Structure 1
């Protein structure tokens, strides 16, 4: 039995990924911030109901000691860490001229340093185990194209692509693959907040910004967490063994590269 860890798994895409990996047969550790303990426990219980082991851990991916504990607790309690999904992230919708240095740092602390810490701590554990592994990070279409009013968020996601490529090259000798998934517009709480903030900036009603952006989706609908989880399932499984260093678009046809 393989063991996976999914950060930011209390709700949204992270929860969908955790449940999909459980259906695939992985034991799954889930983590999120302490203030999401109740939602996190519910996710863990739903995973256990699928017949695999699950543990719920709280921590902050922006803090090195916290990420170290999340990784070591997963390996100690589930027996190993074979799949690491660095899913936790935050969005920011704001004109660049209005962004303060502290706000910039907050986004990069989670989306940048959080991915770096999750990648490196997972890699250290996998190297100690000696059996390789799968490291998977949360990128975005905003990691392939910078978007106005999402400039700081976009810059953090471009960083995820670069880190994924570098890590893939450095850890291949240990049998570790490193890839990332790049969603577009996903029907989650985060995108509700993005829609709200865009609406306030552009003086349009609730849902109007998301509908306007969704018009550019070739498949004609916004994504669900399950859509993204399907790609992560592939990246976590043996069919992707010859794939590494890639940040894969899963956006219904918004960008074509």
Structure 2
């Protein structure tokens, strides 16, 4: 086994975009700490086997990213087993539906606890460890196209992904002098199980409230097709590299041309 390029933590790594990122970073030469919640253990173990087959080390670290003690332990375990933290990918997130008029406060709070507090905690404890190590690092979060342009009926999810951009910009300004860059990726529609479920749930949510399903706002991009998890993983691969040292505080769109900013 060759010397690793470093160690990367990927949250929400059991499937979809998180899985693709973990596998791509393993191909790039990183040892990988794979995180998700307990019910995803079987999927995580499968990803770990795939990474080991690539000649890299992998460790599964179960944690709820919204719980501070669990995030702290996730970082400590990664350092103990793999020797450090060089890249943090705060990918874990959840989505909920709801308009301004119908917003469910409990669901709103749960969405923010994972998407915003979870991202903050990953940034916080990864940055502390990177500063302690003294060799810089890369911190990368998950925003969304709806974190750049609001979409009706996504009041909690959309606003939480706007918040990730704010966290990323503020953290980039604070951590740059430590050699740590902080960026996030903002995907559009990506072919994942989450997207399929999202479409089904949104149509069901619309019908339950007596709305015409045809009223669902469709998002059309310039290229005319959905992306894949590997499309996002390739962007993360570059942001995690040494070559990306001069890019920080950015929210990189990968949406086929939906948000042209």
3-state SS in 2 of match to 1:96 = coil
Whole-angstrom CA distance in 2 between matches of 1:83 and 1:127: 12
Whole-angstrom CA distance in 1 between matches of 2:121 and 2:162: 17
Whole-angstrom CA distance in 2 between matches of 1:176 and 1:162: 17
Q: How many residues align?
A: 252
Corresponding position: 1:46 with 2:41? no
Q: Deviations over 1:190-237 (max 9, x none)?
A: 11121012212444xxxx98x9836x1212210110000000001000
Corresponding position: 1:178 with 2:182? yes
What is the TM-score when the length of structure 1 is the normalising length?
0.94
3-state SS in 2 of match to 1:97 = coil
Whole-angstrom CA distance in 1 between matches of 2:240 and 2:86: 9
Q: Deviations over 1:93-131 (max 9, x none)?
A: 222322221111000000000000000000000000000
The one of 211, 216, 221 equivalent to 1:217 is 221
Q: Which residue of 2 aligns with 1:88?
A: 92
Root-mean-square deviation (CA, aligned residues, Å) is 1.6
Q: Which residue of 1 aligns with 2:80?
A: 76
Note the residue ranges of structure 1 that are not aligned, 5 or more in a row: none
What is the TM-score when the length of structure 2 is the normalising length?
0.93
Corresponding position: 1:113 with 2:100? no
Deviates more, 1:30-39 or 1:184-193: 184-193
Q: Deviations over 1:16-37 (max 9, x none)?
A: 0000000011001101000110
Note the residue ranges of structure 2 that are not aligned, 5 or more in a row: 208-212
Corresponding position: 1:148 with 2:120? no
